[in-house]
Chain A
Amino acid sequence: DAKTTQPPSMDCAEGRAANLPCNHSTISGNEYVYWYRQIHSQGPQYIIHGLKNNETNEMASLIITEDRKSSTLILPHATLRDTAVYYCIVRPGGNTGNQFYFGTGTSLTVIP
């Protein structure tokens, strides 16, 4: 599985957009980009995933560069409840049963 690189920590003002970057320069053509977050050592929460195209759901937007070597998770209006560790993961599709390799992620702190 391709490795990912994320900044260890970021701050964001409440109400502003939080933009969390992720580098995955060795990503393969069949690997998806997933984002999860973990709040206060609760179970990881799925946010969004994509292959090539940008994706949006009720929680966030995922922007993937054209060469797919990096992506950005956007939380459009960050709230205090968005304070969490955010994990960027790449994983191949197909019926592999492969695990999700969680690194150390980005610790996002939303500041009042």
Chain B
Amino acid sequence: NAGVTQTPKFRVLKTGQSMTLLCAQDMNHEYMYWYRQDPGMGLRLIHYSVGEGTTAKGEVPDGYNVSRLKKQNFLLGLESAAPSQTSVYFCASSYWTGDQPQHFGDGTRLSIL
């Protein structure tokens, strides 16, 4: 079972470049999330979606945009990358019922020079 798949796994960008991170899940989950994790810190929520066509801001949304055109995919975009966005990005998904756990992908390691 694939679960939550993130692409790419690694990427190096120059300041000012743009890119899109892709998250795909095959569990028919309604909710999807994007987190970032910086060294020595816990995960912080960037944006999330409660269904196809919907998005909402999380704890640290500035500098990022997201789209959920299909239920199984959740895209995270960086329009103009900054060194402060160097991080490991994790995508997660869950069912809509509130006591269900989130399932995470293996992350995308992004370095911005």
Report chain A residues within 8 Å CB of B56: 97
Write out, one digit per residue, whether chain B residues 78-105 have a CB within 8 A of any chain A CB (1) or not (0).
Answer: 0000000000101010001111011111
The CA of A96 and the CA of B56, in the complex, are separated in Å by 12
Interface residue tally of chain A, by bracket? 20 to 34
Report the interface size class on chain B: 20 to 34
- The reply on B53 being an interface residue by CB < 8 A is no
Residues of B within 8 A of A (CB): 4, 31, 33, 35, 37, 40-43, 45, 48, 50, 56, 58-59, 88, 90, 92, 96-99, 101-107
Query: Contact partner of A104 among B40, B88, B101, B105, CB < 8 A?
Result: B40
Closest to A44 in B: B104
Q: Is A102 a contact of B42 with CB atoms below 8 Å?
A: yes
